[in-house]
Amino acid sequence: MLLVGDVHGKYKAYKTILRGKTNSVCVGDMGVGFRHTSGPFDGEFFTNPPHAFMKDGNHRFIRGNHDNPGVCRNQSQWIKDGTFEDGIFFCGGAYSVDKAYRTPGYSWWEDEELSYDQADKALGVYLDAKPDVVVTHDAPLGVVGHIWASHHRYDSSFTQRYLQNMFEQHQPRLWVFGHHHVSWTMEMEGTTFRCLNELEIMEL
């Protein structure tokens, strides 16, 4: 399986990267249902993902905070939050630190993060499965602190806290995520954490 970093609506580049390949997963921020309401026109952000291309090649995605949750639920290639399959646990969602500059219903959604109930159900699946590999959009709080320590930036969101709770109860071999727009790797308590930059790829 190929993992792909945040796409952010750059579907031409996304298709070029995956041409001739099968079985990939984007780690969130595909740009599903995302709409700009001001600024320069960018056609790629005004289109939905290339669904036929994704379906033919088995290219799927988890949702990020730049994806409309309601539209994702109608996409056949969306991987439901809290899914465990083939030894991999998948969970999307994240908090938008720039939500004050976004437009509700167009570029920001109130349910961008999992609810408490959804997070609790995902935790149950995670603990039952004790996965070897985890793929999420954001990362556990302790990991985020290491990423941004040198930049004096330290976000603390509900998503990061419940992912931290998951990690403290079970440490997988590998945890891959996006959201932070950096290429970064670190080992912590026997788990290798890998952050993929925009459109960065890695082979599982």
Q: For residue 46, what pLDDT is reported?
A: 52
Grouped pLDDT means (10 residues each) for the chain, 204 residues: 95 94 96 68 60 94 95 94 97 93 87 96 98 98 83 73 97 97 95 98 95
Q: Looking at the domain that runs over 2-203, which CATH code has it been given?
A: 3.60.21
Q: For residue 44, what pLDDT is reported?
A: 47
Q: For residue 154, what pLDDT is reported?
A: 57
Give the Cα-Cα-Cα angle 185, 86, 182 (nearest 5 degrees). Answer: 20
Q: What is the pLDDT of residues 45-73, one digit of tens each?
A: 555 788 899 999 999 999 999 999 999 99
Task: Supply the pTM of this predicted model.
Answer: 0.92
**Domain residues of the chain, as ranges?**
2-203
